[in-house]
Chain A
Amino acid sequence: MLEIKNLSAAVEGKTILQGLDLTVRPGEVHAIMGPNGSGKSTLAQVLAGRPEYQVLGGEVRFLGMDLLALKPEERARAGVFLAFQYPVEIPGVNTAYFLKSALNAIRKHRGQEPLDAMDFLALARDRMKLLEFDEKFLSRSVNEGFSGGEKKRHEVFQMAILEPALAILDETDSGLDIDALRIVAAGVNRLRRPDAAQVVITHYQRLLNYIVPDVVHVLLGGRIVKSGPPDLALQLEERGYDWLIEETAAPARS
């Protein structure tokens, strides 16, 4: 469903992604790991369509579409969802109002009737249970005054409401306490569907005990340099990234 070929991208004139390839099929869960600054969030932002990131080359197909030709909102409506590493606070924008508008924009795109306030609340309550997310957040401004962990849980709550075809979770586990991690991971698992895929960016193997990926990728220097079974995460936890840096530096690839 997602096919990235030779993707290069820059931000502020600095090239970050340098010929990245990745293929994700429906129903799969992929984990992406890699050292700080290697380009994981850049990849996520480029896929979501952040205007500040400039695509230099390559191709991304999503459900048969040319993803890079779409505006961010068109991507969201087509089913791309990014759980942000650093969720933004938006004072004065009511969470329930925002989320209902977002959902109805997506429903409209799918040719569905908009949900009214009552139906939305029913849906929200159902998904809040799934994530043990408190209803009081609905009446507050988006992320304003939320704790770090609450913001992350809020991202997954949005995912649960919007039911995307492709969810990219950018370090959703950082900032969550042990119990919250378990709850959120269980929620994410419940949101798995045969026709939907998840890309989980993380630094910690621990998360992958809860969200078991089909493939683990290592992103280094703007490229996927290694892919393997879940065991790869254990190996990284033990050995760090240095051995991979040496391994990939040696051969003159592309």
Chain B
Amino acid sequence: MTPAISAAIPGTSVDLNAWRASFEELQRRESAAAPGWLAGLRRRGWSLFEEHGMPRPDQEEWRFTSVAALARLPFQPALEPAEGQRPGDLLPPQAAAETGPRLVFVDGFFAPGWSRLEGLPDGVRVRSLAEVMKLPEPGLEPHLFGCAEVVDHGLAALNMAFFEDGAVVEVGAGVAVPEPIHVIHLASGRALQATFHLHHLWIAGPGSRIKIVEHYESAQAGAYVTNVMTELAAGEGAIVEHGRWQAEGLEAVHVASVQARLGPRARLVSHSISAGARLARHDFRSRMEGEGGETMFNGLYLGMGEQIVDHHTTIDHGAARCGSHQQYHGILDGRARGVFNGKIMVRPGAQKTDAKQTNRNLLLSRDAMVHTKPQLEIFADDVRCTHGATVGQMDADALFFLRARGMDELGARRLLMRAFAGGILDRVSIEAWRERLDREVTAWFESLEAPAAGSSAAAKELS
């Protein structure tokens, strides 16, 4: 194989040869057993990676989110389950307490012993991707890597080249799944400096209803990368509620891509709550391909210390009379940095489009920063598109009012932060999950360092 590009990944000091060696090893390992379709996908993924390279800061989409830190470390794909990958004490108590159906992944691989699939109604089929990968025909066309656009950067291409496991959930036409399915990802801390390439595929048949929540958590501190792609197809009239709770350890890197395709009158509500990882990058895309589709993207991102949290969204209005509503709130403390880039694309013929985008940011410290940018590409004339972004500090009037009624300063601050976060959390209809998020977010507020006595400087001078 002749190298198509130089050995070092442009813009980074990463040694491409190491990744190439991993890829070749994977191919060798799979060559005998792997079906042709799989090898084909992998080869396509690898050549796309060679094309894109690692994301670089001179690329518009990655200007504010440097993956240099990621590229410097010798992250290698986790090619098989790590030693002692299914220890019994891994599951954090809150995940263990989650009732209802769940799929657990430990260090990037499905852990059937921890998963619970009883009680799912007829017409729902759940498999691990690893299982599907053994089949001569996956029977998942046209959904698995369903369109070229899903691989829009080097890390997504790596996912295509290296994906090892994930959840494949198929819901038959007209089937309503009453309970949410929780997909829980745990990093054990035993597979350090590894990259977990996960790939989920969820297919909601016409007229079906399903709720799925992804959780990402670290059982122990340590550096690793989660590189996950979730493809989601909602058939005509399907109703999907999707959630993500990203709380990986502060040494981890989280790269997520959520790629949805909606049929006519399908409705997707997706919530992204992100509090963990030192670098978290989320790419969300909804392609509405039939008339009357509806997408709601909600997001709450919390950052402290040196964390970077990035949401790039793309709403693709590909048909007439579709609606989209995006609401993202960020709370940033310390030297944390937030990025929100919201792209709304209205294709020719997508008349009567109704698209709304709001991004609000609360900066708790002088050094916290946010980059927010709407991006409208409109090729139809009868459309309504609105967008707005705000960046501000804690409302001094509100804070004083609460204190003047007897609440202590810290409590008043937390109450105001909770109110700001509530603008997103209150949109979650999965009650048990919302209550858990409320507790998690409250704990995050409580973990913040007390603010420097900036606002009470005058009061201080008196004493």
Residues of A within 8 A of B (CB): 48-55, 68-69, 71-73, 75-77, 81-82, 84, 87-88, 90-93, 98-99, 101-103, 105-106, 109, 141, 158, 162
Given contacts A51-B457, A73-B412, 5 further A-B contacts (CB under 8 A): A69-B462, A99-B405, A101-B411, A102-B405, A105-B406
A185–chain B nearest beta-carbon distance, Å:
22
Are B405 and A158 interface neighbours, CB within 8 A? yes
Residues 449-463 of B at the A interface (beta carbon under 8 Å): 455-459, 461-463
**B456 contacts across to A, CB distance below 8 A:** 51, 71
In the bound complex, what is the Cα–Cα distance between A105 and B407 (angstroms)? Answer: 6
Are B458 and A162 interface neighbours, CB within 8 A? no
B400 interface neighbour in A72, A102, A105, A158, Cβ under 8 Å: A72
Are B416 and A93 interface neighbours, CB within 8 A? yes
- With A51-B459, A88-B395 known to touch, is A101 a contact of B423 (CB < 8 Å)? no
In the bound complex, what is the Cα–Cα distance between A81 and B405 (angstroms)? Answer: 7
Are A106 and B403 interface neighbours, CB within 8 A? no
In the bound complex, what is the Cα–Cα distance between A84 and B455 (angstroms)? Answer: 20
A161–chain B nearest beta-carbon distance, Å:
10
Are A90 and B406 interface neighbours, CB within 8 A? no
What is the number of contacts between chain A and chain B, taking CB atoms within 8 Å?
94
Are A73 and B409 interface neighbours, CB within 8 A? yes
In the bound complex, what is the Cα–Cα distance between A237 and B403 (angstroms)? Answer: 36
B312–chain A nearest beta-carbon distance, Å:
27
In the bound complex, what is the Cα–Cα distance between A159 and B403 (angstroms)? Answer: 14
Closest 9 pairs between A and B when the two form their complex, measured CB to CB = A92-B419, A76-B406, A102-B405, A72-B403, A105-B406, A88-B397, A51-B458, A73-B403, A106-B406
B404 interface neighbour in A53, A76, A92, Cβ under 8 Å: A76
- With A71-B456, A92-B420, A92-B423 known to touch, is A101 a contact of B407 (CB < 8 Å)? yes
Chain A to chain B contacts (Cβ below 8 Å), 9 pairs = A49-B404, A53-B458, A73-B409, A90-B401, A91-B423, A98-B407, A99-B405, A101-B415, A109-B406
**B73 contacts across to A, CB distance below 8 A:** none
Residues 357-405 of B at the A interface (beta carbon under 8 Å): 395-398, 400-405
In this assembly, does B81 line the interface, its C-beta being within 8 Å of a C-beta of chain A?
no
Residues 402-452 of B at the A interface (beta carbon under 8 Å): 402-409, 411-412, 415-416, 418-420, 422-423
Are A51 and B407 interface neighbours, CB within 8 A? no
B 219-232 binary contact with A (CB < 8 Å = 1; else 0): 00000000000000
Residues 327-359 of B at the A interface (beta carbon under 8 Å): none
In the bound complex, what is the Cα–Cα distance between A76 and B401 (angstroms)? Answer: 11
* Chain A residue nearest in CB terms to B419: A92
A160–chain B nearest beta-carbon distance, Å:
13
* Chain A residue nearest in CB terms to B422: A92
* Chain B residue nearest in CB terms to A94: B419
In the bound complex, what is the Cα–Cα distance between A69 and B462 (angstroms)? Answer: 6
A75–chain B nearest beta-carbon distance, Å:
8
In the bound complex, what is the Cα–Cα distance between A106 and B405 (angstroms)? Answer: 8
**A51 contacts across to B, CB distance below 8 A:** 400, 455-459
Are A72 and B404 interface neighbours, CB within 8 A? yes
In the bound complex, what is the Cα–Cα distance between A68 and B406 (angstroms)? Answer: 16
In the bound complex, what is the Cα–Cα distance between A88 and B402 (angstroms)? Answer: 10
In the bound complex, what is the Cα–Cα distance between A101 and B407 (angstroms)? Answer: 7
